[in-house]
Amino acid sequence: VVFLAESGGGSVQPGGSLKLSCARSGDRYYSVCMAWFRQAHGKEREGVASIDAEGFTMYADSVKGRFTISKDNAKDILYLQMDSLKSEDTATYFCAAVVGCLPPSQPTTLGVNEYNHWGQGTKVTVSS
């Protein structure tokens, strides 16, 4: 069992920055792949960024060059540094994980179905 708890959301003006955190707890696994998703009001959940067990990262085109995903394996914390925020980044952000994901079983897309553990989400509002 994997538990995920997001934090760091809030309100920020366009052009500002926020850093989200996701603390992972529960059973320990040899390989864990993690990702950030977001869901805006009335829209489907979409992948933002992912990082696999070996540190390989993927980003949605909409956030490339602005967002950075990273992890602290010692503390079991996933991060999402969000810079140059835009109003369209407003959404609830979710942390996700899947275990047993060493190659060739690692997620290859930012699809929702690639992950089976989810946090409760943290809300990000970008508005002037």
pLDDT 10s digits, 46-71: 999 999 989 999 999 999 999 999 99
Tokens encoding 123:
């809300």
- Cβ atoms of 34 and 22 within 8 Å: the answer is yes
Question: What pLDDT does residue 1 have?
Answer: 87
Question: What pLDDT does residue 27 have?
Answer: 85
Lowest-confidence range among 38-52, 78-92, 104-118? 104-118
- Cβ atoms of 56 and 90 within 8 Å: the answer is no
Portion of the chain with pLDDT greater than 70, in percent: 100
Question: What pLDDT does residue 117 have?
Answer: 96
Is the confidence at residue 106, as pLDDT, over 90?
no
**Residues 44, 15, 22, 60, CA torsion sign:** positive
DSSP codes of every residue in 73-104:
TTTTEEEEEE-S--GGG-EEEEEEEEES--TT
Considering only residues 62 and 26, tell me which one the structure prediction assigns the higher pLDDT.
62
Average pLDDT of span 82-100: 97
Say whether 37 sits in a helix, a strand or coil.
strand
Q: What is the pLDDT confidence band of residue 103, given thresholds at 50, 70 and 90?
A: confident
Average pLDDT of span 102-115: 88
